Chains A and B, each alone.
Chain A
């Protein structure tokens, strides 16, 4: 099958599966992932090798668009808007999940670079699944407000933690023999390079954007600059995520009407994400599922512990209510899109371990998507956010 027919079929069935998922109250992303597994080489064998070859390119595009959108959160205005509680809790629950998962996996003799990656992926959560529960139960109140703020922001921290961890993990993996110093040097260059590319292109995007007069040009210009940034980052082995995120952060803080660069992408981004998640599902190696047992369980449990401790500490510092301290972390368990994206990057970077990371995260994602909403509900009940 040629690639155009393949993409067409993915889009058509992706739309259908998304609508179906909505009927059974599941986020569309989970449906895309499952569709990918069904279409993939282990079941229908419908998605050809050719298509899986381009999936790397599509992931890079999708991930840079996601990181670009999430990057617009890094403005002083947003930080003031969400308030102290959301800031402390979102940062510390993300860091908490990372640290505790990392320590837990190290304890179970998982190699350090793998543990680092797993830890970073643990930081991400899935806003869509959480919003779905809140919407279904028409939950309202201060607890819900804080939960929504934390959920909106924690992927931003998650992407930063992941990018930094990946840089260090790559350095550790590549030169096991060399000194700690040269290892860290590699990581520092990767991060600094990303900031430089994102920063310079951010200034260009914003300044030249002032001269554009219609929506078509704006769309072309925005996508063009994002692709240039992503392409340069790939060429020099910088971080695609950090580069795009920093690009967005610079634009948001430079330009009063910066929302135009983000809103214009709303017309085109969703089909790309759809293809991205279906292909992610298709590249899942089902036969590895049986081998993830211990790592999967340790990852899941320590992530929950980490989210709880981080939230507790953050809520303690920000002087939140006891309800927030005790129960907010229950609302943060679902995991989906961003975690899968991170796992796909890991899969590309580390030939062997990457497959285990990706398969584990894909499997735990499905489990989290099933049990996660139950815990969100529990948290909303415990804190009396569900009326009637």
Chain B
């Protein structure tokens, strides 16, 4: 079975230039923040925004500094309760600033088993799906796969 057979194709994505405020407003009523793919004008996948991306705002350049393990002052989590954020930052910060470019993605024609293995290896619960031009076409989650199996076995 291929990824495209069970993926969700109706995905909420954002552009590189989407501002932080625009993003927050569209997820205002959510309690958990999903993985949101970031795409360019041609829908080519550039990165993802997820809950950890927000920590970039509280602690800029963290992503870059992480590449040198000794640059960390300590591994304490960011003290998010005591940070300097101004109102204007809602318009100044765009997705390109905070998105995670370490993307784990899967081709829509790949086997779902490959998608499952990828998610296990990278410890993700969902990953974006692309076509052969690297354009975003959907998202597949572990739950989609588990549900599919239960469905096939007649449990639901």
Contact = CB atoms under 8 A, between A and B. Distances in A.
Tell me, yes or no, whether A and B come into direct contact in the complex with CB atoms closer than 8 A: yes
A215 B76 CA distance: 9
Nearest to B75: A216
B77 interface: yes
A81 interface: no
B49 to A, nearest CB: 23
A214 interface: yes
B34 to A, nearest CB: 23
A213 interface: yes
A217 B76 CA distance: 8
A352 B75 CA distance: 49
B120 to A, nearest CB: 14
Interface in B75-96: 75-77
Contacts of A217: 75-76
Contacts of B76: 213-214, 217
A214 B76 CA distance: 6
Contacts of A215: 75
A213 B75 CA distance: 9
A214 B75 CA distance: 7
A61 to B, nearest CB: 23
Contacts of B75: 214-217
A168 to B, nearest CB: 46
A217 B75 CA distance: 7
Nearest to A214: B75
A218 to B, nearest CB: 10
A213 B76 CA distance: 7
B58 to A, nearest CB: 15
A217 B74 CA distance: 9
Contacts of A213: 76-77
Interface string A194-219: 00000000000000000001111100
B117 to A, nearest CB: 14
A213 B74 CA distance: 11
Contacts of B77: 213-214
Contacts of A216: 75
Interface of B: 75-77
9 contacts: A213-B76, A213-B77, A214-B75, A214-B76, A214-B77, A215-B75, A216-B75, A217-B75, A217-B76
Closest 9 CB pairs of A and B: A216-B75, A214-B75, A214-B77, A214-B76, A213-B76, A213-B77, A217-B75, A215-B75, A217-B76
